[in-house]
Amino acid sequence: GDSVTQMEGPVTLSEEAFLTINCTYTATGYPSLFWYVQYPGEGLQLLLKATKADDKGSNKGFEATYRKETTSFHLEKGSVQVSDSAVYFCALLNFGNEKLTFGTGTRLTIIP
Amino acid sequence: DAGVIQSPRHEVTEMGQEVTLRCKLISGHNSLFWYRQTMMRGLELLIYFNNNVPIDDSGMPEDRFSAKMPNASFSTLKIQPSEPRDSAVYFCASSQGLAGGSGELFFGEGSRLTVL
C-alpha cells in the first residue's frame, strides 16, 4: 500500500538557518504530493503541493520538488523564522483515491 | 467564508460518559473526514464520508465509536462509553472531493478530549 516516511523530529534550528525536512514515499502509479503544516493549537493546513514529476511546489518561502527517481519530496526553506515553528506533515494522494496518506509529522522549533 | 467549525473545543469528561463531537463543513464541500491525533499514534483517519455516505470506517477503533452525517453540512462523532485511552485531539476536515487530485483538506481547529 501507499506510505510516506518523514525524517524523525524534533528539529530545532536558529532563526535564519537553512531548513530541510526529508520525505520519501512508496506508492503505485503517479501520486500527487503535499506538505501540510500545523501551527500550535490549530488544525492542519495545506502548505504546498506538486502533482507530477519534476514539479516544484512553493509557498511562504518553502519549496519542495517532486523527484520520481528518488521517490522524494523534501521540504526546504532558505531562512527560517520563529513563526515557522510548527509540525510539518508530508502526504500523498493517488489519483482516484479519496484519502490522503500522511507521514508521522516533524516538529520544527525555531529559536531566536 | 467560514471554515470548518468544530465544537466543543475542549471537553473533559469521566470514564463511561457519552461524548459527542460536532462538525460543520464548509459550504459546497461534499467530503468529510474525522481524524484523531495523539502523541503516541500521530494522526489517524477514523472515517470519511462522501455525499453523506460513509465510505471507509476501517479506522474507527471499536464499536464504542460511531459517526453520522444527518445532512450535507453537519457531522457528529460519538463515543459511548468513553475511556481514558480515547483522550486525544479530534479533527474534522472537509473537501470538495479528493479524487480529482487537488489534495486540499480544510481542517477545523480540533476538539481536545480528556477522559478522566
| pLDDT tens by residue, A82-92 | 999 999 999 99
Grid coordinates belonging to A24? 520519501
When pLDDT is averaged across residues B20-28 and rounded to a whole number, the result is 95
Grid coordinates belonging to B40? 503516541
H/E stretch holding A107: strand A106-111
pLDDT band at B21 (very low <50, low <70, confident <90, very high): very high
Asked if A18 and A73 touch (Cβ cutoff 8 Å), the reply is no
Cβ-in-10-Å burial (0-12, 13-18, 19+) of A105 comes to buried
Give me the helices (H) in B1-116, please.
none
B93 touches chain A (CB under 8 A): yes
Q: Which residues pair with B38 in a beta bridge?
A: B42
* Interchain CB distance below 8 Å, B98 and A93: yes
Which of B4, B58, B98 to mutate: most A Cβ within 10 Å?
B98
When pLDDT is averaged across residues A22-49 and rounded to a whole number, the result is 93
- Amino acid at position B86, single letter: D
* Interchain CB distance below 8 Å, B101 and A95: yes
pLDDT band at B100 (very low <50, low <70, confident <90, very high): low
pLDDT band at B1 (very low <50, low <70, confident <90, very high): low
Candidates B43, B98, B107; nearest CB to A97: B98
Flag the least confident range among A61-70, B21-30, B75-84, B102-111.
Answer: B102-111
Asked if A47 and A67 touch (Cβ cutoff 8 Å), the reply is no
pLDDT confidence of residue B22: 98
Asked if A67 and A90 touch (Cβ cutoff 8 Å), the reply is no
pLDDT confidence of residue B101: 55
Whether pLDDT at A67 is above 90: yes
B25 touches chain A (CB under 8 A): no
For chain A, the average pLDDT equals 94
